[in-house]
Structure formats: C-alpha cells, structure tokens
Structure 1
Amino acid sequence: MASDYGNNGVVEAVAKVPSSPDTGESSARLEVLRELMGRGRATAAELARSLGVTPTAVRRQLGMLLDAGQVEEHERRQPGPRGRGRPAREYVITASGRAVFGQGYDDLAIQAIGALVEAAGAEGVTRLGERRCDEVGTQYEERRRETPDEDPVETLAELLDQKGYVARVAPSPVGAQLCLYNCPVAEVATAYPQLCEVETRVFSRLLGSHVQRLATIAHGDGICTTNVPSHTVTFQATTPDDPGTDNHREATSA
C-alpha cells in the first residue's frame, strides 16, 4: 500500500484512469476516497495516520481528487478562540467521489422509475423500495437465527456494509446510531425520497424499535444517520486514529 503512494508513476497513471473500480483501479486514490468516506471528513494528517503513509503522499492524492471534483476542501471549525498559525484544512467526499463506489446508471434508473410512476403511481416506488430491501431483510433474519446473541444493530450494519453502504455503529445517549457513509442510490433517492422512507421503515421492523432518520446523503447531508433507541445497546467501535483497537462501550437509556 505505502509503495503505491511513493511511486510517481503509479500516481500519474491513477490520475488518468476513469473513476471506476471496475477498470482495475486498486490505487492509492481509491484508498484515500474510501477512508475519507468512512470518516465523513478528515484532514490530510488524519488520513495519513489511518493509511500508514506520509501526509505529503496523501496531499498529492487529495490534490488530484480536488482537481477531479471528487473531494472538497474546507476550513475545520475549531471550538473556542482560534490559535496561531494556519487553520486546519479538512476534506469531504463529493457526490462525484461517491459515484466511484457504485452509483452508476443513475440517469437510467431515474427515467425508469419515472415510467413506473406514470404506470403504477407513487405507490409503485414504495413497492420497488420494499423489494430492494427484501434481500437485506432475509439475510438479517437468517443471521439473527444463527447468532441470536449478536448485537442487532451491528448485524444490520455489517450486512449493509457488504452492500456498499460503508456502515458503522456509533454510540448515542439513548442507544446507538446506524451511520451509512455511502448510499449506492443517493441520486435516485434524491429524486424519489420514498426510497429513504421505505428503508427507514424496514430498519424499524428488523430492529424491533421505532428508529428515527436524522440525516440522509440524498438530502445533502454527508452521512445517512439513523437513531436506534434501545434499553441497552452494546456495540464495538474503532477509534479513528487507532483502527486496530477495539473499544467496547455500552449505552443505556435513562
């Protein structure tokens, strides 16, 4: 991994490759994009620590991603008075960057759903969303039968992660939050928010709890966040700066 970052020939070749994993792009740039997507936002130094390379190497990749419109650069907001020196710069993945991980055929899908609405009405979109969630629901129920002691939110997150959602579980004062750092159908869901509504209802049914969708990528947020209230939710999280360390935490509702 680190050798790819230090090889200028690799860097130059990656810059010319179309943004699709299907073209064989297993390069440093994809690794930076995926790490950034999993974090939501991060500085070059933070990305470098997680990837085990130098900040200079990461900045070289970020420069190409900025030129391609796949990431955006912002000034990091710091609480309290600003200290001396230049303010830290952090990076956020864009819709174009997310498209690298499987958001193709959006225009065709939107046109097809438009035809569906004309033929079957808005209810047709709801039925389509439910059918799309059927596979995850079936896999979830099978997994719960096989490992009933596993935390249900973690189980759902792992299955969604396999579907390209880059799913993680985070603590919340009253349970847990299911965080999706990528949405494979974000562009379609922007045009047809019923897909997000169906997804939320399916999460609620599978988890046996009234969940609340706090943010969605389709509505312009950086992360899809769903709050899952529970009496006690035990989960396993990994700290951003030490991805090899498992931290076991427990959140109990009041």
Structure 2
Amino acid sequence: MKYLGEAPQEEAATGERSTRNRVARSILDHGPSTVAELARRLGLTQAAVRRHLDALVADTVVEAREQRVYGARTRGRPAKVFALTDCGRDAFDQSYDKLATDALRWIAQSAGGEAAVAAFARSRIEQSGAGYREAVESAAPAERAQALARALSADGYAATARSAPGRQQGEQLCQHHCPVAHVAEQFPQLCEAETEFFSQLLGTHVQRLATIAHGDGVCTTFIPRGGAPPPAKDEGEDAPPSTEKTTHTSASTAGRNPA
C-alpha cells in the first residue's frame, strides 16, 4: 500500500538510494572494485554504476584508488577501483545498534520499565535537538517545516517538507533515513519522543503517519497549517478528534503504523 506523502520524485529518490546501497554493499562484500566488476555483479550499465559512485564519493562513502597490480604490469594506466571509506564502513556497522538496544533493554528491566525508557528518549531528543530548535525558531512561521527538514538532513535524516496531498491542509515532513531505525523498531519510545519534540518545536500538534522503524519506507509526519486540526471527514462519518486528542494520539502511535 502506498503510504501518505509518497510523491513520484520521492519514489524515484528511494529507488536511487536502494541501488546506491547495493553498490556500496557490493564493495563491502567483495572489496575494492572497478566499474566493470560492479556493473557485472549488479546487472547495471557501467554508466549507471559511475553515476552512483559519483554520489557515493560526494557523500564520502567510497573513494577512488589506483588498482594494485601484482606481478608484471601491463601497458596502459591501471584501472581505477572504488573502496569504502571509514565513514562508509561505519554505515554498515550495526554493533552500536546492538549496544544501544541492550542498554535500553537493561533500563526497561532494571531501572523503571517503559517509563524510564520514555524519559531517556525525551532527554536524548532534547539534547540532540538543540540545533533543530535554533533552526526552527530563526525561521518565519511559514518556513519552519522546511527549516526543520534542513536541520534533520544535516544530521543524516535525508528529510524533505512539502504540501500535504489531497484535502489535508498542511505539510508533510518526510525523513527518508533514520540512523536509529533498528533500535526504534524495538523501542518505539524513541519515535514517540521525536514526535512530541516536533510538536513543541512547531507550536502545533503533529501526527506521525508512518515510520521506517515499523517497516514503512519513509518516516512521515503531518504538520497542520496554522495549527488547524486535520480536515473534517466526509458527511456521515465520525467527527475528527479535537486538537488536544490528536496531540496525545500522535505521541502514542509514533513508531507504529496507525493505518
């Protein structure tokens, strides 16, 4: 099922990132590789591989090196190979995910249960989100969602903000990457705290529509325009919840698919 907020350009971007990750993974699995080797392994054209490699080099995930030649050197310049940088290897290393999950599990079992995990999550986002607060508060009210998206992108969340589709009067904040998705899958309090924090920053209730931690392709948050509640349902349906109720629901469903 297509999730809300998925625009054609976002679908294309998601496909590009998926292929780019395959290129990087192939280098991780097989070591420094030439364009021709990557194209053969992945079933891509060499032109497509070069395009993805250019993006990975720009992101400091891979770097170009001169291929080592063992034995007699043949005529001509050695083929260029691409290898993962330390940053690129860190992106695949999930040992910190396990450490964080183990630590949160210990907190839940030994230091106050789920309430203690929730308190930790709120403290974490308050401390790490100081830059988000500065970016949002320095922006004009109509540009705050865009300012938050830029600040999140600077922290690796690959975020965008655009007008919400359909009859929804507001914007959708989409985070195309989540550095803590594996941990949040087991501890949705991280998503809940983030949703509450966004609400505080933007001065209005927000509603989390989808999360990567739950298995959705993008973390999508609806931000009503001007603090208005979501649009009323069609005649004959139940009335929409009040603003106060929606705020509470947003926090409680973050990290889960509310559909």
When normalised by structure 1's length, the TM-score is: 0.52
**Do residues 176 (structure 1) and 146 (structure 2) align?**
no
Q: Which runs of 5+ in 1 are unaligned?
A: 1-11, 29-43, 62-96, 233-254
Counterpart for residue 93 of structure 1: none
Structure possessing the higher radius of gyration over alpha carbons? 2
**TM superposition shift of 1:141:** 3.0
Equivalent position to 1:131, from 119, 123, 129: 123
Deviation beyond 2 Å, 4+ runs, structure 1: 12-19, 53-61, 99-104, 135-138, 140-150
Aligned partners of 2:96, 2:169: CA distance in 1, in Å? 39
SS at structure 2 position matched to 1:170:
strand
Counterpart for residue 213 of structure 1: 208
**TM superposition shift of 1:174:** 1.0
Aligned partners of 2:92, 2:24: CA distance in 1, in Å? 19
**TM superposition shift of 1:17:** 3.2
Deviations 1:92-150 (A, max 9, x none): xxxxx9x8377551111111111111222111111111122113542233234444467
Identical counterparts, % of pairs: 38
SS at structure 2 position matched to 1:122:
helix
Letter in 2 for 1:163: D
Letter in 1 for 2:125: C
Equivalent position to 1:224, from 219, 226, 232: 219
**Do residues 160 (structure 1) and 152 (structure 2) align?**
yes
State the Cα RMSD in Å. 4.0
Q: Which runs of 5+ in 2 are unaligned?
A: 1-22, 36-42, 55-87, 228-259
Q: How does 1:36-75 map to 2 (within 5 A)?
A: 54-55=47-48
Letter in 2 for 1:17: L
Aligned partners of 1:17, 1:157: CA distance in 2, in Å? 30
Q: How does 1:236-251 map to 2 (within 5 A)?
A: none
Aligned partners of 1:16, 1:223: CA distance in 2, in Å? 26
Higher share of residues assigned strand: 1
Letter in 1 for 2:28: V
Contact 2:205 2:224 in 1 (8 A): yes
Q: 1:167 to 1:101 in 2, by over 3 A?
A: farther
